[in-house]
Chains A and B, each alone.
Chain A
Amino acid sequence: MFEVAEQPCRLRIRMSSELKGIDAACKLIGAFLQKLCLERYAFDVELLTREALINAIVHGNGNDRRKTIQYGISMEGDCLTIEVEDSGNGFNWPAFLQREPELTSECGRGVLLMREYSTGMAYNARGNRLVLSKLIS
């Protein structure tokens, strides 16, 4: 499943939990940013999108293709907002956010990347919905 709904300043995608869906979503998001003349943010937004979706697919939905993910990106004022919600049970994000990966660790950099490349990052209490913001200058 891969469903798209687009408005001038908002793009919504409902997709099944498959990594190849991330690539399809990123193509649409690149075109969406181009329409808003925000190409200069394309790398940062794609990276944020990829990390949020990887976590939703792999950790949130446990790679279960039957489980869906809701993705949204919108532009309002001087802020781009990315929202990702998975169908999983959530996780103990306050504990997780304090972790720093070991320098030679081969995994565990997704959250750190999102922290570095976003202006703001917030989970709901359950931990299955993430909102990332990116201020546009």
Chain B
Amino acid sequence: MTEIKRVGDRAIVKPCRDLVASVVQEFKKELRSLIAEEPAEIAIDLTGVDMIDSVGLGVLIATHNSISKIGGKLTVMNASENIYGLLKTMRLDRHFGVMSA
């Protein structure tokens, strides 16, 4: 279900589903495989994502932590108004770039 597009050393990842406890572990595995390729940047495109819970936030933070260790960066783009607000409320915009839709 996840769409992954590689542009140079940048990977754009579109989960195409909500990042919630019941389904997010599969997305986490996909991100882990991607990090193993050591991209300079992973950009997660949240188009079509309506909800992220604390488990989903944990996956974003884990991705940020892992890619930072290898000198890369995480960005999150096309966040809906609600999700943009959630990421700001949890101060995650201090860790990685967050762009609204």
Contacts and interface: CB of A to CB of B under 8 A. Distances in A.
Nearest to A46: B51
Consensus secondary structure, chain A interface: helix
Nearest to A55: B54
A109 interface: yes
A137 interface: no
A103 B54 contact: no
A50 B86 CA distance: 14
A6 B86 CA distance: 30
B6 interface: no
B89 A116 contact: yes
Contacts, number: 55
Consensus secondary structure, chain B interface: helix
Query: How big is the B interface, by class?
Result: 20 to 34
Contact of B61 (A50, A54, A104): A104
B22 interface: yes
B26 interface: no
Interface string A109-126: 110110010000000000
Nearest to B57: A109
A43 B54 contact: no
A54 B55 CA distance: 9
Contact of A112 (B55, B62, B90): B90
A50 B54 CA distance: 9
A62 to B, nearest CB: 15
Interface string B59-74: 1011011000000000
21 contacts: A20-B22, A22-B21, A22-B22, A23-B20, A26-B51, A46-B51, A50-B20, A50-B53, A54-B21, A54-B53, A104-B61, A104-B64, A105-B61, A106-B58, A106-B62, A106-B65, A109-B90, A112-B90, A113-B53, A113-B54, A113-B86
